[in-house]
């Protein structure tokens, strides 16, 4: 066990790779989820079609297969991606497809009366989304987004198959050099658990912040609270 713990510089380097991939992949997934999630609520059929194509294609493919395609297949047609970029792209595209459905469902879950109030206030479609629908929907998105970011973090383990030295690869390297199989994989289990708990704390903090911004009391059950006229920035604009 001491040999495993003495390799802490390798553990720290591997943890940093895992955290960096989680943050970059999560940022890409969030942007894609918002764009395609809002597209799924559009009045225009062709925009909704874009949502369905993206969601069904990337949700229907394994992240590992996407990673292999970006890393091994694209260079054969003359497009070589940096290893980290290929990993972030595969993770972000896959998790973003799940996130897009979370965004679409959360926006649709805002009470219809809220939408009708924005029409009565003569809001433009952009104002409706920015001032009323998204702020309320965002409170509903956070818990499932928290689950998705943790799933993305665990999914980073696949990058060990394309030469990136993350926590999983470090555990295998140390297990091979020390012969301490139980100790090496026990340490990596604990490290993944710690990272997941830190991510969950940030999500819980964000939930409380959004609740306060919307004037909602913390509750175990989702609340669809505020009316359009009382939403942040509401007013004729």
Quickly state the pLDDT bin for 91 (edges 50, 70, 90).
very high
Q: What DSSP line would sit under 115-184, residue for residue? A: HHHHHHTT--HHHIIIIIIHHHHHHHHHHHHHHHHHHHHHHGGGGGGGT---HHHHHHHHHHHH--HHHH
Question: Which residue, among 167, 113, 99, 109, has the nearest Cα to 134 in the 3D structure?
Answer: 109
Distance of alpha carbon 1 from alpha carbon 21, whole angstroms:
28
pLDDT (tens digit per residue) in 132-184: 778 778 888 888 998 999 999 999 999 989 888 899 998 888 888 888 888 88
Residue showing tokens 């970011």: 149
Q: What are the sequence ranges of the domains in the chain?
A: 1-217
Q: What Cα–Cα distance (Å) separates residue 91 from each residue in 75, 113, 148, 171, 202?
A: 19, 37, 11, 21, 20
pLDDT (tens digit per residue) in 9-53: 888 999 999 999 999 999 999 999 999 998 888 888 998 999 999
Distance of alpha carbon 85 from alpha carbon 213, whole angstroms:
35
pLDDT (tens digit per residue) in 47-69: 899 999 999 999 999 999 999 99
pLDDT given for residue 1 in this prediction = 67
- Copy the structure tokens of residue 15: 């943890």
CA dihedral for 162, 165, 170, 173, sign (positive or negative): positive
Give the number of residues written for the chain.
237
pTM over 0.85: no
Distance of alpha carbon 78 from alpha carbon 171, whole angstroms:
34
Which architecture characterizes domain 1-217 according to CATH? Answer: Orthogonal Bundle (1.10)
Quickly state the pLDDT bin for 228 (edges 50, 70, 90).
very low
Residue 133 or residue 87, greater confidence: 87
CA dihedral for 9, 14, 19, 21, sign (positive or negative): positive
């Amino acid at each position: 066990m001491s040999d495993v713990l003495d390799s802490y510089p390798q553990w720290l380097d591997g943890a940093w790779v895992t955290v960096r991939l989680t943050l970059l992949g999560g940022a890409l997934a969030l942007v894609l989820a918002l764009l395609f999630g809002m597209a799924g609520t559009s009045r225009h059929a062709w925009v909704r079609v874009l949502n369905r194509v993206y969601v069904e294609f990337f949700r229907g493919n394994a992240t590992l297969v996407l990673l292999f395609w970006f890393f091994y297949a694209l260079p054969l047609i003359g497009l070589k991606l940096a290893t980290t970029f290929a990993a972030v792209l595969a993770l972000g595209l896959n998790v973003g497809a799940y996130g897009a459905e979370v965004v679409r469902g959360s926006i649709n879950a805002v009470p219809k009366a809220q939408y009708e109030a924005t029409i009565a206030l003569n809001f433009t479609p952009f104002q409706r989304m920015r001032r009323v629908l998204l702020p309320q929907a965002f409170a509903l998105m956070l818990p499932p987004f928290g689950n998705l970011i943790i799933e993305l973090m665990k999914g980073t383990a696949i990058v060990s198959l394309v030469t990136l030295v993350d926590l999983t690869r470090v555990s295998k390297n140390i297990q091979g050099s020390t012969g301490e199989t139980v100790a090496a994989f026990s340490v990596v289990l604990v490290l993944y658990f710690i990272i997941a708990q830190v991510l969950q704390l940030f999500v819980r903090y964000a939930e409380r912040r959004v609740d306060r911004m919307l004037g909602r009391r913390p509750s175990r059950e989702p609340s669809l609270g505020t009316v359009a006229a009382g939403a942040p920035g509401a007013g004729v604009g």
